[in-house]
A and B are shown apart, each in its own frame.
Chain A
């Protein structure tokens, strides 16, 4: 293929434009849907907004959503900050152990952990509650159906991601700043509060906002715990208005209900970007970074072990054991001699009959999402870092905007689009619709990852190929892509991990022929088939564990 410089730019812009069109279509559909009665396209009405304003659950749901956001972020920092600190700035001897535990925990999808906690701590039949009752006669000690547990479980699950996000900032912290303080006669304690903390504050703030947004938009935990516990948040209201059990699906009203969430996330993204710029400004100051001074933990290492043990038990060991136990028992019951005699693999046989289609669909979903996401994002990144015209920067910015649209609302918009366009493009209920929605959602992350890598690589590498007679396409394929390969591999691994365990988007969009493992688990759990849900959970955990450990090897030089 011979393409001139212009032809090649046009080709990539066409590819990037399809992504931008999808993002725009998604945003437009969300807004149009919110003004549409029921799920009818184009009949403008304010009825949805009027209905929303008169809804009894609205304000409690908004309040609960904020509580979930703030509560999750607070619990999250209680684990993530010490872990990050220990990993980056202390002489803690077993950093590898901590990193491995954090990585392994990525193999547990949040909805699986939430399910495990329901099985353990629901007030009536929870395994742990039953144990306490039979041992001490205390009944209903724990009630998992509460905002506190929702926040806590979300925090447990988000901890590794938060640690991996904060680590670079902590690690690159220029320790000559501390040295400068100490040779100027400032005590280490004062230096920590007056120099280290203020310098790292924007980075920590940005990460906090990021996880606040994530905490209010993920459906995994509120879907499993909030809905049966009658705790409304915005995402559960959106879900319920589209779910047939509660009446005919009304995507128009769902979009309207999502507007407060969209506003919340949009504000969050703006604050996030603002903080990120501040954090960048600080990090620009350090020219030559020296290896950080590692603090002697001394006796504190016992406290660190205690924290790791607590988190590891609650986030990994306990949920995993619960899932295994539940998969082997016919109904929820605490471990006992009687229970041991009932252990069987019968639920595995039951699950085996259901597994094939969801398993294949999950693999297709992962592959499809990666292909769309990577083809789109390498095009956008090349244009944004190499051509850098206004058009290309706009493409990049619009793609990044998609970050502000929560997954559930993206799904509502795409479902509305697919319904409206059903006669022309039969995407409704297909895996394609899920793949495209997932790919759009992943773009903000993949383009950021590729952009930062592409920016670090001087464009003279490609110019050297041009001036020695190598064409554009060939230079792109043989120089640009291989050189940013580590970033591409990282993006692929993270996208794989995220799309394999994604619940929200497939749950909103799937039909019986496009069900994946996560939606199957969710349905089994919702219909009380806990043992089979547990078997499927073990399957997805096994798949994710392989991926997580692969990513551990990939990120090892970083982490």
Chain B
């Protein structure tokens, strides 16, 4: 559905493997990955720490030497283990925003932006430098602090300088390594929108690394969920949210209840047996599911509703074990015949612990997901 539409992707990675330590001896941090990012796309790598997402990004930048595979950026072969070709980072058409910002502490804001333009090898005409610096500082609202030493700026301002420095080069590919993770939460949320808007306005192709699922869902045109050096699933935010192809992805994106289940009936209606009873699922994420096959039944906390119609599908009777008030909503730990179920309800459903309630698990939001170890639908 959201496979790259251009004939030639801007970034193309084939069979890329990166290992720390001597090749072949230690476990690969990145294991033989293929990836295509098309022109103008915002592609997010999402995964827990240590999953290899930053390693992949650094290999694309040229900061980390892979031991096999190939990387092509804008038609230029920048790494190829077969031909032994490896272009150093300074000659790749990229720029990068670091998690630590990596601003040069002995330079001012404007100098940080101008230094790569003036001293770099990207062929920026001399008379254009001042113009570009002014333009990019204005774009990021930094004009009034252009001569300030970067060490005197706040975290948010430093982040913008780092972004300005990267954009001033007009890279073909912009690499961002957890650029917002050092900011406090509110600023993070505000900047997500701003960065996304800015990057798509400029139209620069972006590879973006984060461990924050909300950030990934909000910013990505497409995203890849990574685990242990491999892609677990690649797709649009909606595809991954609604159709996780594995237990790992289902657990990683959104607060999902996952219950062990067995398939009871396939066909137009998919029925599974769960500890809560026999339930119907609207989405099947398993290739050629067979009756009797074990699987996971998933429903997100926020999708569960208070039920009123006794006879309808997927109604379960539960008792409230614990309620946690958090302002706009209330999180409940429910008990259904000894099985725990978490749900988050609007604050108007304020039920004290011990009370029995009817819950509806809406069929259209119920998933059947393969347990890890089985293959999912791709």
Contacts and interface: CB of A to CB of B under 8 A. Distances in A.
Interface of A: 2, 4-5, 458, 460-461, 463-472, 474, 478-479, 482-483, 485
Nearest to B61: A467
A4 B89 CA distance: 10
5 contacts: A461-B104, A468-B166, A470-B120, A471-B90, A483-B106
Interface of B: 61-63, 88-92, 94-96, 98-100, 102-106, 115-116, 119-122, 165-166, 169, 175
Contacts of A4: 88
Nearest to A465: B116
Contacts of B115: 465, 468, 470, 478
B104 A466 contact: no
Contacts of A467: 61-63, 89-90, 92, 94-96, 175
Nearest to B97: A464
B169 A466 contact: no
A470 B61 contact: no
Contacts of A483: 104-106
Given A461-B104, A483-B104, A469 B169 contact: yes
Contact of A470 (B90, B103, B166): B90
Contacts of B99: 460
Contacts of A464: 96, 98, 102-104, 165
A435 to B, nearest CB: 30
B106 A485 contact: yes
A193 B100 CA distance: 41
A458 B106 CA distance: 14
Contacts of B119: 470-471, 474, 478
A407 B106 CA distance: 38
A469 B91 CA distance: 6
Contacts of B169: 468-469
Nearest to A478: B119
Contacts of A458: 100, 102
A426 B111 CA distance: 49
Contact of A460 (B90, B102, B165): B102
A387 to B, nearest CB: 12
A466 B63 contact: yes
A495 B61 CA distance: 40
Nearest to A4: B88
B104 to A, nearest CB: 6
A557 to B, nearest CB: 15
Contacts of A482: 104, 106
Contacts of A468: 90, 95-96, 115-116, 120, 122, 165-166, 169
Contacts of B175: 467
A460 B91 contact: no
Contacts of B98: 460, 463-464
Nearest to B124: A469
A463 B89 contact: yes
Nearest to A485: B106
Nearest to A482: B106
A478 B62 CA distance: 21
Nearest to A470: B120
A469 B62 CA distance: 11
Given A469-B121, A470-B116, A463 B106 contact: no
Nearest to B122: A469
Given A463-B63, A464-B96, A469 B102 contact: no
B164 to A, nearest CB: 11
Contact of A461 (B61, B102, B116): B102
A468 B100 CA distance: 16
A174 B119 CA distance: 44
Given A468-B90, A469-B91, A472-B88, 13 more contacts: A2-B121, A5-B88, A458-B102, A463-B63, A464-B102, A466-B89, A467-B62, A467-B89, A470-B119, A470-B121, A471-B120, A474-B119, A485-B106
A479 B104 contact: yes
A407 to B, nearest CB: 36
B90 to A, nearest CB: 5
A324 to B, nearest CB: 44
Nearest to B87: A4
Closest 7 CB pairs of A and B: A469-B120, A468-B116, A464-B102, A460-B102, A469-B122, A466-B89, A467-B96
Contacts of A460: 98-100, 102
A471 B123 CA distance: 12
Contacts of A461: 102, 104-105
Which of A4, A466, A478, A483 has the most chain B CB within a 10 Å cutoff?
A466
A458 B98 CA distance: 11
Contacts of A472: 88, 90
A486 to B, nearest CB: 10
